[in-house]
Amino acid sequence: MDSSDLRRLPRMDRLLAQPARADSGLPRSILHQAADEELSALRAGPGPVPESSELIRSILRRAVSACKSSLTPVVNATGIVLHTNLGRAPLAGAAVEAMTGAAGYCALEYDLEGRRRGDRTARVEALLCQLTRAEGAAVANNNAAAVLLSLAALAGGKGVALSRGELVEIGGSFRMPDIMAQSGAHLVEVGTTNRTRQSDYRAVVESGEAQFLLKVHTSNYKVVGFTQEASLSELVGLGRAYGCPVLYDLGAGLLLPPRQLGLPEGTPSASESIRAGTDLICFSGDKLLGGPQAGILLGRKWAVDAVKAHPLMRALRPDKATLAALEATLQLYQDPDTARREVPVLAMLSATQTELRPRAQALARRLEELCGDACALSVEDGFSEAGGGALPGVKLPTALVTLSPRDRTAEELDAALRSSVPPVVALLRRGRVTMDMRTLRPGDEEAVCHAVEQSL
Ligand SMILES: *Cc1c(COP(=O)(O)O)cnc(C)c1O
Confidence at residue 126, expressed as pLDDT on a 0 to 100 scale: 97
> What's the first-to-final CA gap in the chain, in angstroms?
35
Note whether 248 and 299 are within 8 A (CB): no
If you take atom 11 of ligand 1, which residue's CA is the nearest one? Answer: 251
Which pLDDT score, from 0 to 100, does residue 329 have? 98
Q: Would you say 326 and 294 are in contact if contact means Cβ atoms under 8 Å apart?
A: yes
Closest C-alpha to ligand 1, atom 6: 143
The pLDDT of 29-47, averaged and rounded, is: 87
What pLDDT does residue 397 have? 96
- What's the pLDDT at 50? 83
219 lines ligand 1 (CB under 6 A): yes
pLDDT over 60 at 15, yes or no: yes
Centre of ligand 1 from the C-alpha of residue 187, in Å: 18
Reported as a single tens digit per residue, the pLDDT across 120-130 is 899 999 999 99
pLDDT: is 304 or 1 the higher one? Answer: 304
215-219, 280-284, 351-355, 437-441: which has the minimum mean pLDDT? 215-219
What is the mean predicted confidence (pLDDT) over 192-209? Answer: 96
**pLDDT value of residue 23:** 63
Put simply, whether the predicted model's pTM sits higher than 0.85 gets the answer: yes
Q: Is the CB of 170 under 6 A from ligand 1?
A: yes
Distance 425 CA to ligand 1 centre (A): 24
Q: Is the pLDDT of residue 149 over 90?
A: yes
Residues 6+ apart with CB under 8 A from 303: 136, 150, 154, 245, 279, 280
Q: For ligand 1, is residue 410 a contact (CB within 6 Å)?
A: no
d(CA 110, CA 90) in angstroms, rounded, equals 29
Nearest to 293 by CA among 269, 273, 317, 310: 317
CA of 391 to the centre of ligand 1 (A): 13
The closest alpha carbon to 215, from 120, 305, 150, 121, belongs to 150
Alpha-helical regions (H) of 316-389: 320-332, 336-342, 344-350, 353-371
Q: Is the CB of 282 under 6 A from ligand 1?
A: no
Residue 285 Cβ inside 6 Å of ligand 1? The answer reads no
- % of the chain exceeding 90 in pLDDT: 71
Whether pLDDT at 307 is above 70: yes
For ligand 1, atom 5, name the residue with the nearest CA: 143
List, for residues 428-442, the tens digit of each pLDDT value: 999 999 999 999 998
Confidence of residue 55 (pLDDT cuts 50, 70, 90): confident
**What is the reported pLDDT for 12?**
72
- Which residue's CA is the closest to the ligand 1 atom numbered 14? 251
The reply to whether ligand 1 has any atom less than 6 angstroms from the CB of 144 is yes
Express each pLDDT in 311-329 by its tens digit.
999 999 999 999 999 999 9
Higher pLDDT residue, 411 or 39? 411
Confidence at residue 22, expressed as pLDDT on a 0 to 100 scale: 56
pLDDT band at 405 (very low <50, low <70, confident <90, very high): very high
Averaged pLDDT score across all residues of the chain: 92
For ligand 1, the distance from its centroid to the CA atom of residue 103, given in whole angstroms, is 27
Q: Output the pLDDT for position 21.
A: 59
Residue having the nearest C-alpha atom to atom 7 of ligand 1: 143
Write the residue with the smallest CA distance to atom 15 of ligand 1.
Answer: 251
CA–centroid distance, residue 170 to ligand 1 (Å)? 6
